[in-house]
Amino acid sequence: MLHFGRTTLRGRDTAASQDGPADQPDRKCQAAPAGAARKAGCEGYAGVRSAAGLSGRRMGCIAVLLSTYNGQRFLAGQLDSLRAQAHQDWVLYWRDDGSSDATSAILRAFLDDLPGRVVALDDPGRYGATESFLRLLRAAVRDGHETLAFADQDDVWLSDKLARGAAALASVPPAMPALYFARQRLVDPELRPLGLSLPIRRPPGFPAALTQNLATGCTQMLNRAAAELVAASAAPAAVHHDWWCYLLVAAAGGRLLHDATPTVLYRQHAGNTIGAPTGFFWRAIAAMRRGSAAFTSVLRQNVAALADQPHLLAPSAREQVGVLAEALRGGTLDRVRALRMPGLRRQTWPETLVFRLWFMLG
C-alpha cells in the first residue's frame, strides 16, 4: 500500500515485475569526475547542457548517492545489494568524507570491477553527512539525472528497492516535486531480524513535517523536480539531509509517497547516526531523553531556513512559516495561537504532547 500525500492508494503493486529489469547500462565508459561532459554509467546519458536544458536524459537511469565515512565494516553488503537490484539501470555517485579506514579502497575496487558505473567526486574534505550528501545530489542534478536515491553505507537493500521507488515516482507528473520513502526491516549488525520500522498512522505533509522526519534517508528517492528544489536550497546546519529533503518537498506542495512495504534491511548498531525505535512509546521516550534544547534548535533553524527561501514554498506553507516564525519570536499567547494550526502535530498523541510542551518552552 502506498500513501500519496494525503491520499492512500490501495491495491497498487509497484514491485519489480511492473518496472522490469532494465537493459544493462553502457559499460564502455570509465568513471570520471562529476560534471564533466561524458557518458557515465547510463546508455544514452550525457551530462551536457544545451539551450533547451539537459540533453540525453533517460528516465530509467537512477543516480544512487552514497556518502561514506569509515564504513569498511558493512560497506560490502550495501554494494552487493546494489549489484543485485532488479532495476539495473543505475549509476553510483560516491563521495568519501575523510575516511581513515579501508572504505575508499573498497569503493575503488568496486569502481574497477564495474567501469562506467561509478562517478567518484574529487572533492576532499570533511563536511559531515548532510553537506556531503547534498554535494552528491547537486552533482547528479547537474549531470541531468531524472531520479535520485540516497544510500547509507551500512544497510542492505532488498532487490526491488529501486524498482518500487521508480514505479511510484513515475506516477507523478514530472513538473511536480515528489519524494518516495518506505518502511524498513530492522536488523542487528549480523542482519538478524529485530522487527519493522514504525508504520505511518497519519498522512505525511506540511506543517507536520516540521515536527518530525518520517522519511528515513536510506529509503528516499526523489524525482528531478524534487532534486532541483533541494539543489536550489540552502539547508540549515543542524538538520540531516533526509529531513531537509522531506521538509522542503512537503513545504513546496510536492507529493510524498510512502510505501508500507519494506525495501531495506536497516542495521541498528552503535555507530548509527540515527537509529530506529521499535515502538511509538519508545520513540516518545527517546525524544524526551534528547531533551527540548536540541529539538527546539532544529525547529528554529528549519523555520528560519524556510522563511529565508519563500520562493521555494507553496503559498499556504509560506503563510504557515510566517506564523511559526512570529510565534517563536513572541510570547506565550503567540505560541498558543500557533499550536492551533491545522496539521501541526506528530504521528501519535504522546509525541504531539511532547512537541507542544517543547514548543511552548522553547
> Which CATH number goes with the domain that contains 57?
3.90.550.10
State residue 280's pLDDT score: 52
Domain check: are 219 and 357 in the same one? Answer: no
- Asked which of 63-67, 199-203, 281-285, 291-295 is least confident by mean pLDDT, the reply is 281-285
Domain check: are 302 and 198 in the same one? Answer: no
Q: Of the segments 30-34, 276-280, 334-338, which one has the largest average pLDDT value? A: 334-338
Domain check: are 305 and 332 in the same one? Answer: yes
Q: What is the average pLDDT score of the chain? A: 84
What is the domain count for the chain?
Answer: 2
Domain check: are 327 and 256 in the same one? Answer: no
* Mean pLDDT for the stretch of residues 321-329: 98
pLDDT-derived band at 3 (thresholds 50, 70, 90) equals: low
Domain check: are 287 and 153 in the same one? Answer: no
* Mean pLDDT for the stretch of residues 320-326: 98
208: pLDDT strictly greater than 50: yes
* Rounded Cα distance, 115 and 111, in Å: 6
Please say which residue of 228, 246, 276 terminates a domain: 276
Q: What is the DSSP string of 93-146?
A: EEEE----SSHHHHHHHHHHHSTTSEEE----S---HHHHHHHHHHHHHHTT-S
Q: What is the DSSP string of 29-45?
A: PPP--TTSSS--SSTT-
pLDDT-derived band at 245 (thresholds 50, 70, 90) equals: very high
Domain check: are 241 and 331 in the same one? Answer: no
* Rounded Cα distance, 206 and 216, in Å: 17
Domain check: are 11 and 116 in the same one? Answer: yes
Domain check: are 46 and 193 in the same one? Answer: yes
In which region does residue 291 sit, left (phi positive, over 0), alpha (psi from -120 to 50) or beta (all else)? left
Please say which residue of 276, 311, 327 terminates a domain: 276
Domain check: are 229 and 261 in the same one? Answer: yes
Domain check: are 268 and 317 in the same one? Answer: no
State residue 14's pLDDT score: 33
Domain check: are 206 and 310 in the same one? Answer: no
pLDDT of 20-61, one tens digit each? Answer: 333 333 322 333 344 433 334 454 323 322 222 333 445 579
* Mean pLDDT for the stretch of residues 335-355: 95
State residue 49's pLDDT score: 29
pLDDT of 288-314, one tens digit each? Answer: 566 688 889 999 999 999 999 999 999
Q: Which residues lie closer than 8 Å to 129 by C-beta, 6 or more apart?
A: 67, 69, 97, 240, 241, 273
Output b/e per residue, 253-272; b: 16+ Cβ within 10 A: bbbbbbbeebbbbbbbeeee
State residue 292's pLDDT score: 80
State residue 244's pLDDT score: 98
Domain check: are 198 and 331 in the same one? Answer: no
Range of the structural domain that residue 13 is part of: 2-276
Please say which residue of 252, 276, 300 terminates a domain: 276
* Mean pLDDT for the stretch of residues 109-129: 95
pLDDT of 76-98, one tens digit each? Answer: 999 999 999 999 999 999 999 99
* Rounded Cα distance, 319 and 117, in Å: 44
In terms of pLDDT, which residue wins out, 37 or 264? 264
63: pLDDT strictly greater than 50: yes
pLDDT of 131-186, one tens digit each? Answer: 999 999 999 999 999 999 999 999 999 999 999 999 999 999 999 999 999 999 99
State residue 362's pLDDT score: 82
